Amino acid sequence: MRPDGRDLDPEKVWSLTEDDAYGMFVDFRWADNGGKPYCPRCGCLEPYSVRRRRFRCSEPECRAEFSVTSGTVFANRKLSFKKIIMAIWEEITAAKGMAALHLSRKLNVQYKTAYVLLQKLREAVGLRRSAFTLQGLVQIDGKYVGGVLRKANKKEERKDGRKKENQNGKRMCVLALREANKHAPNRTLTRVIMDENGKDAWAAVAKHVDPKALLIADEHKAYDDLIGLVSMHRVNHSLQYQEDDGTNSNVIESFFSRVEKAYKGINHRFSTKYLDWYMAMLSWKEDTRYMGLRWQFADLLRTITSRPTSRNLCGYWQCAAQNIVDQVWLQGEPPD
């Protein structure tokens, strides 16, 4: 293990006081103002304290009352700042992701609290990773996740789950594009689609891949139409996994290996509704695995203090979950 893979001492994280954890939120939320609060509504730089950890804007036309989490992922939170910090540390140190049941035992909170907390982290990361433009050498591939059929007892009654007529509608395809450049931080972008098809692949490449990039794909027919969009090289996996000149799609396959381990070893099930968020967090883990724990911690804390309040997860257990739309791309069209 690299030294920076353990450069954040867990004892220091778990020994933080509530005031220490609050101070970290303040420093990251208002980093552009030297850690000094300002009004999130009008931008006034001279708010005043009205009670413990609450501020009010001094502008007569505004007079908004706010806190360090107002307008962020953790707006209206009831969990202590220390437990949120501890949850972030647990998430970044879990290479294949964190199960909500495991986190609930770690933090001594209800399963519902741990579940929504982790989903807020995943959604915040996913929002940031939706506007990438990949450059240089880019690999593309798809992986089917979920929708496993229960095997019948008798052999003659068992069905082939690979055939479309036997599927249960819960089997989704994760279309992934990943940079494979040497000596550069490589980024991964994912989209959840119904199946591996040319229209979704074309839309993803057209929006997120630089026209000057070189695309590596396997022999799947979904990528046939991409030849006229960008420069492209194909690796026929039915014949070999790597060309004689070393061309392969191993980088994207390594990401799918992490997805498979998270699915089978940690979560055991990915809901179609939230699959996009799970993939975003796993791709973030893949991209930042060499950056060090301290860097990952700061990056995730910076992300959650700069993302708006989630319309999907605020009030999740008070029926807000019913309004969440499946984050699935349909024939090149984004989810609502």
Three-class secondary structure assignment of 196-226: CCHHHHHHHHHHHECCCCEEEEECCHHHHHH
Q: What is the pTM of this model?
A: 0.90
| pLDDT for the residue numbered 7 | 80
Listed in sequence order, the residues at least 6 apart from 290 whose beta carbon sits closer than 8 Å to its beta carbon are 2
| pLDDT for the residue numbered 319 | 72
* pLDDT of 334 strictly over 90: no
For residues 30 and 66, what is the distance between their CA atoms, to the nearest angstrom?
Answer: 13
Listed in sequence order, the residues at least 6 apart from 187 whose beta carbon sits closer than 8 Å to its beta carbon are 129, 132, 134, 178, 179, 287
Mean pLDDT of 77-88: 95
* pLDDT of 4 strictly over 90: no
Dihedral in degrees, nearest 10, Cα atoms 93, 97, 100, 106: -20
Q: What percentage of the chain reaches a pLDDT higher than 70?
A: 97
| pLDDT for the residue numbered 255 | 94
Confidence of residue 48 (pLDDT cuts 50, 70, 90): very high
Catalogue the E-assigned strands of the chain.
Answer: 48-51, 54-56, 65-66, 137-145, 172-179, 188-193, 214-218, 231-235
Mean pLDDT of the chain, nearest integer: 89
Structure tokens at 19: 């005031």
Nearest to 234, CA basis, from 203, 242, 182: 242
| pLDDT for the residue numbered 333 | 64
Mean pLDDT of 117-135: 89
* Sheet containing 214-218, strands listed edge to edge, beginning at the edge strand earlier in sequence: 188-193, 172-179, 137-145, 214-218, 231-235
| pLDDT for the residue numbered 100 | 95
| pLDDT for the residue numbered 182 | 87
Mean pLDDT of 286-305: 93
| pLDDT for the residue numbered 336 | 57
Confidence of residue 283 (pLDDT cuts 50, 70, 90): very high
User: Any bridge partners for residue 218, and if so which?
Assistant: 235
Tell me which DSSP letter residue 125 carries: H
| pLDDT for the residue numbered 248 | 86
* pLDDT of 281 strictly over 70: yes
What domains lie within the chain, and their CATH numbers? Answer: 3-30+68-128+310-321 (no CATH), 137-286 (3.30.420)
* pLDDT of 118 strictly over 90: yes
Instruction: Work out the widest C-alpha separation in the chain, in whole angstroms.
Output: 77
| pLDDT for the residue numbered 273 | 86
**Better pLDDT: 16 or 7:** 16
Q: Are 41 and 62 in contact (CB under 8 A)?
A: yes
Q: Which long-range contacts (CB under 8 A, 24 or more apart) does 205-208 make?
A: 205/140, 205/177, 205/229, 205/230, 208/132, 208/133, 208/134, 208/177
Cα torsion angle, 188, 189, 194, 197, sign: negative
Q: Are 194 and 328 in contact (CB under 8 A)?
A: yes
Cα angle 13, 32, 282 (rounded to 5 degrees) comes to: 50
Structure tokens at 178: 């990943």
Mean pLDDT of 221-232: 90
| pLDDT for the residue numbered 31 | 93
